[in-house]
Chain A
Amino acid sequence: MKLIKDGHIIDPANSIDDIMDILIIDEKISKIEKNIEVKPEYEIINAKGLMVFPGLIDMHVHLREPGFEYKETIKTGLAAAAKGGFTTIACMPNTKPAIDERTIVEALDRKARGAKVNLKVIGAATKNIDSDQLTEMGDMKEAGIVAISNDGKPVKNAYITRRVLEYAKKFDLILIEHCEDESMANGGFIHEGYYSTILGLKGIPREAEDLIVARDIALAKMTGGKVHIAHISSKNSVDLVREAKKQGINITAEVTPQHLVLTDQAVESFDTSTKINPPFRSEQDREALIAGLIDGTIDMIATDHAPHARWEKEVEFAYAPFGVVGLETAVSLMYTKLVKTGIIKYSTLIEKMANNPGRIFNLGGELKIGNDADITLFDPNIEWIVNPDEFYSMGRNTPFKGWNLDGQVIHTIVKGDFALKNGKVI
């Protein structure tokens, strides 16, 4: 039994924004009230001065298992998640082999057994990611997958996407789409704009994203299936999603912390830790992403945590793999750059990092009596400097190295148990 005492609880899903206590009994939230009476059997967690959030949920993480254990493992990835305040993360299936059948889903579950943080698995939509053959998504759903995706790529063409969406409806699986028209991207690797022009690096126009977003909206409308746009980056795509939502089409979207903070100017140094896909876009796009986040067009923030080995990133820009790590900086970065600056409210941050992913993917994400006691305690007064050498993740590839951030997660509680205690992963 644990009693979280005197913390400032924020949970817009339950309209809570107040100093209250939370009592945890047997993995579950038992009470949320002011001044809960202290009993000797309670383990008291003094939350005075701390913010108390529903456990954060990240729907877009690359844990690299199986096949790329030199980049990240389930163990190190879940430790990084705990450090970042995430109580549930969902891992993408673009592994080797791809997570495209029940046995692999089960193998991952076995590997995650004993870990504190909840691991949820996203299954591939088509066999080996890039094929015409649908996966046994019903079978994988029984084994616990929470969504389907061919992340790294969109489903290969309109016809197969249509069939995936139709078939997935029976199992109520959302298709998470990496929206990039390959022919339009044409081997580019930064945003096509001023910086691609002056640096002589091949650009990916925002229309590469827009084309697939538009395709998928049309197909979601046609089939009634559900599409979730991964890491939206283009202002035009934000407009497309906004319009589709107005029409009642089943579409949701996520944005990464890095796209909300940085633009293609970051690439100027040719630092490979700024090479991501979709690329950092222009300031206008960044502003449109923030506007979309605020008006509800963009439902959630997801990290797209993509660890790589040091030697893979320490190469010429053109040859480096795409991706940055994000689990251990996400909430502090969002607090520092968006909440503390007054751009978004605390409640918006929690909607985007807990309530909405929880609701849309049926993973909890709110502080409700009877729910699993998945709770994140955040100290807004800590000032810290991002030092990748201290990461729990094996990935060191972050564009935020050396940044001064405010606020840090102190405790991460999953099913009533500490996954992170006093800043240390248990």
Chain B
Amino acid sequence: MLKAKDLLGLRTLSTDEMDEIMRVAIPMKDIIMRDIKKVPTLRGKSMATLFFENSTRTKSSFEIAAKYLSADCTNLAVSTSSVQKGETLIDTAITLEVMGIELFVMRHGASGAPHFLGRNTKARIINAGDGMNEHPTQGLLDMFTMKDKKGDLGNLTVTILGDVAHSRVARSNIWGLTKYGANVRVVGPETLLPIELQKMGVEVYTDVDKALKGADVVNVLRLQKERQSSGLLPSLVEYNKFWGLTSKRLELIKEDGIIMHPGPMNRGVEIMPEVYEDPRSVVDEQVTNGVAIRMALLFMMLGGKTSDEIN
């Protein structure tokens, strides 16, 4: 059981809760692998996705998760053009709530937006990414993948490579992994590493070779191309030269280390195509695991049951 009404981030989740979610995700993954990918578990339950930012992957992942569990999922593409954004947000959510929606999956460009909505609705909320704050389902699916491939998270050295400053994926990974006692390293140009990062319990590097040496996992962050026009980077070419994950740099991680990326990838910028194609790349499996994690959360938050009951 999750203690809070809303799933807002891994910062506020306990390892017990994260364990539970990952445990429930295992039978969910089995459902995805079946011939007939549908169970009636959440029949009659209603949820909605509220995406204030564009997304294809995360939104589809939640929709598919809902479908496999037979929940009814309404998708609202919300305009961000309105000036009174807060009003629109609360009003939109309450309108859907009084129509019977029990859970919102929400993505928003402003950090804290789902926290704000959660205080104003009875419906439960899953944060599908808020500003630069958190992307907890991505964090969970990343840890689920690491655990599946490499075992106990507490024994792992995980290197997060790239634009940490603007990355909600990085923050959720850091919160989750440090709670399990993993050795987390972050690396990127100093302009993309936020201040006082080491206080989050991570090792901070600007030298990618040092940060990769002996890592069990390298999680490569997507680089937004506009960073080069805002004084943070000179060019994507230079970024690739000093921080891109190349085959040569890959030799530094453990032989059985794995390569992850939350997608979508900028090939030739933060990651080279041959790295994605390396047998140690688990990028595609992350996507499958994403559906399983989201099914687990929908099940726990709409059905309210524990993993023992589904088994």
- Residues of A whose CB lies within 8 Å of any CB of B are 192-194, 196-201, 203, 205, 269-270, 311, 314-320
Contact = CB atoms under 8 A, between A and B. Distances in A.
A315 B197 contact: no
Contacts of B86: 311, 314-316, 319-320
B133 A203 contact: no
A197 B110 CA distance: 14
A193 B115 contact: no
Given A314-B90, A315-B84, A200 B111 contact: yes
Contacts of A198: 11, 171, 200
B300 interface: no
A37 B309 CA distance: 85
B111 A201 contact: yes
B195 A318 contact: no
Nearest to B87: A311
Interface in B267-297: none
B199 interface: yes
Given A199-B112, A270-B111, A320-B86, 7 more contacts: A200-B168, A201-B111, A201-B132, A316-B108, A317-B112, A318-B112, A318-B131
25 contacts: A192-B195, A193-B196, A197-B194, A197-B195, A197-B196, A197-B199, A198-B11, A198-B171, A198-B200, A200-B131, A201-B112, A201-B133, A269-B115, A314-B90, A315-B84, A315-B85, A316-B89, A316-B108, A316-B112, A316-B113, A316-B116, A317-B111, A318-B111, A318-B131, A320-B86
B131 A197 contact: no
Contacts of A315: 84-87, 89, 116
Contacts of A318: 109-112, 131
B50 to A, nearest CB: 13
A203 B195 CA distance: 10
Contacts of A270: 111-112, 115-116
A320 B116 CA distance: 12
A193 B200 CA distance: 12
Contact of B195 (A196, A199, A317): A196
B134 interface: yes
Nearest to B83: A319
A319 B197 CA distance: 25
A317 B112 CA distance: 7
B134 A200 contact: yes
Nearest to B175: A198
Given A270-B116, A319-B86, A200 B133 contact: yes
A144 B130 CA distance: 49
A209 B84 CA distance: 30
Interface string B108-138: 1111110110000000000000111110000
